[in-house]
Structure 1
Amino acid sequence: MEYQERPEINFRAGYGRVFGDENVVRSTLCQHCVKAILGLWLEVIADDSRHRVAVGQPAGAYQAHQISLPDDGKR
């Protein structure tokens, strides 16, 4: 597996969801497998300096109680 290009899934399931209440779901995947399986549903955006996402940081998809804050309490 090309370690530098690994897509990762890491989230906490919500109440009543298919993965179970509050369970953590994690996986490290092969980029070729992700493209083959999810390619039709993925949006691939050309490199654009206006489109910035902090890798590894939640982008609004988490509930407040699912995010650990740093010791200073700031995000």
Structure 2
Amino acid sequence: MENIRTVLMAVVGLAAVAVLTVFAASVGLALMGVLFVLSIARLIAMKLDRATVPVKTREQRKREAMRVWDDGRGKIIDL
């Protein structure tokens, strides 16, 4: 009876180790997949051309005149 209990405990222990190993491997594969997708996305993003953003300096804004017009419902002032 003692041998059966020992064998049963060994089988349960080995099964627990096997389950933990499979779980760790699946988590590792999932992390590797996420890192792979992120690295591919980064490579694609680096190859895309960056659009230029028009920037106005304070001097350019001062030179532009204030626009005022009337649309029939009231005056519109564009600063």
TM-score category by the smaller chain? under 0.3
Q: Looking at both structures, which has the greater relative contact order when contacts are Cα pairs under 8 Å and sequence separation is at least 6?
A: 1
TM-score, with structure 2 as normaliser: 0.17
Structure (1 or 2) with the greater helix fraction: 2
**Greater radius of gyration (CA):** 2
TM-score, with structure 1 as normaliser: 0.18
